[in-house]
Structure 1
Amino acid sequence: MSLAALRQLMTPVRYLRIQHPAKRLLDVIVPALMAGLATACLMLLPYPVRLLGDSGLISVFTDLLQILVGFYIAALAAVATFDRPGMDAPLDGEPARLIERRNGALVPVNLSRRRFLSMMFGYLSFLGLVLYFWGALAGLLAENLRDTIPVEIYVFAVPACLFLYLFWICNLLVTTLLGLHYLSDRIHR
């Protein structure tokens, strides 16, 4: 596979490269705080919460992701084809920018509402698919990993992997709420 083809497959991740004053807060800080708090609560409960299996935490998220990915793809299609002049106008307030290569030079490009929302729902679709397969793979490999990883490492690996998984789930949640804000309110102003 060529590098260009791989870059095309990773296009939805470009959403994380958008520059805006609120992006770091919404993409990193809030999800990290939520995931840290959730991980700490889950690890400190007197009765452990089941993480894997049919009624485990990851299974619950995997079931939800099956529904959400379809919503994200439908929202992406709607935003891309929504016939309204304001969709191609720049975002209100501080512009959201993306540094792009144009004629060999890196140029900051202000994003329109349509492009921003398309990038957002493309990213959410991509992340939802990745988390779905990550959760399914975790369920399939958990017993094998538990038996092959030394106990000293496993004790630290479980909370670390749980935090990482919950970070991306929280990132998905926060970004979904931002997308819902735009679709339910900002797009109609």
Structure 2
Amino acid sequence: MRRGYIKFVANFKKLLTAFSFFRLRSADLEYFQYKYPSIFAVFLVVSYWVLSRTIFEIDLDAAIANATTLMGVLIGFYIAALAAVTSFPNESLNSVMAGNAPRIKERGGAEFSPITRRRFLSILLGYCAFLSIVVYILGSASASVKFAARTNEFLEVILKAIWWSGYTWLLASLLTVTMLCLHYLIDRMHRP
């Protein structure tokens, strides 16, 4: 029984490999992991609450539908980009990044070790691919799930606020990491 449980947990961890992005450590990486997505998400949520019905009529259902359509396209883009980065025959991608290279603590390891440019880009693109799938699923679910007529109004407001805050943070994280990935693909990948 215990062996089956250990095997179950070990295999389940493989499903969470896309979250390796949060195991990376670097001097500036926490800005892209937490700070920028959080600031951007708070800005969007506060802007919505301030501007909605005072200056603009904002159709959140249409926004989710448009984001879901975009995610359907981005999933393929991220997976194709991941395949290209992992197979691109550029030897400089196999070298450890210059300067204060991002480090990762391997599962079960005790120390952080620096990673190559190829692995760094693979981690970024893998996170983006996974996150775009999650946002796609959440957007699709949002279109088909509605509150029951007898739901407490206060509970409905609280749940909607939690939903929108989380959904907005996921979108902000996807945008932030995509921009970081583009920076490395455009500028940093070709430097020695």
Q: One fold, TM greater than 0.5?
A: yes
In structure 1, distance between residues paired with 2:183 and 2:35: 19
Following superposition, the deviation at residue 147 of structure 1 comes to 3.0
Equivalence for 1:61: 67
Q: What secondary structure does 2:136 align onto?
A: helix
**How many residue pairs were aligned?**
182
Equivalence for 2:81: 75
In structure 2, distance between residues paired with 1:43 and 1:139: 21
Question: How far does the alpha carbon of each residue in 1:109-144 deviate from its partner, in whole angstroms, 9 at most, with x for none?
Answer: 111000111111111111110110011011111x2x
In structure 1, distance between residues paired with 2:20 and 2:140: 25
User: RMSD between aligned alpha carbons?
Assistant: 1.6
Equivalence for 1:119: 123
Residue 72 to residue 148, structure 1, CA distance change in 2 (3 Å): farther
Q: 1:89 aligned to 2:95?
A: yes
Q: 1:158 aligned to 2:121?
A: no
Following superposition, the deviation at residue 105 of structure 1 comes to 4.3
Q: 1:30 aligned to 2:39?
A: no
Question: How far does the alpha carbon of each residue in 1:26-49 deviate from its partner, in whole angstroms, 9 at most, with x for none?
Answer: 111111111111111112222441
Equivalence for 2:58: 49
Residue 93 to residue 2, structure 1, CA distance change in 2 (3 Å): same
Residue ranges of structure 1 left out of the alignment (5+ in a row): none
Residue 105 to residue 29, structure 1, CA distance change in 2 (3 Å): closer
Residue 109 to residue 134, structure 1, CA distance change in 2 (3 Å): same
Equivalence for 1:188: 190
Equivalence for 2:3: none
Residue ranges of structure 2 left out of the alignment (5+ in a row): 1-6
In structure 2, distance between residues paired with 1:33 and 1:107: 31
| TM-score normalised by length of structure 1 | 0.90
In structure 2, distance between residues paired with 1:107 and 1:149: 50
| TM-score normalised by length of structure 2 | 0.89
Identity of aligned residues (%): 30
Residue 30 to residue 148, structure 1, CA distance change in 2 (3 Å): farther
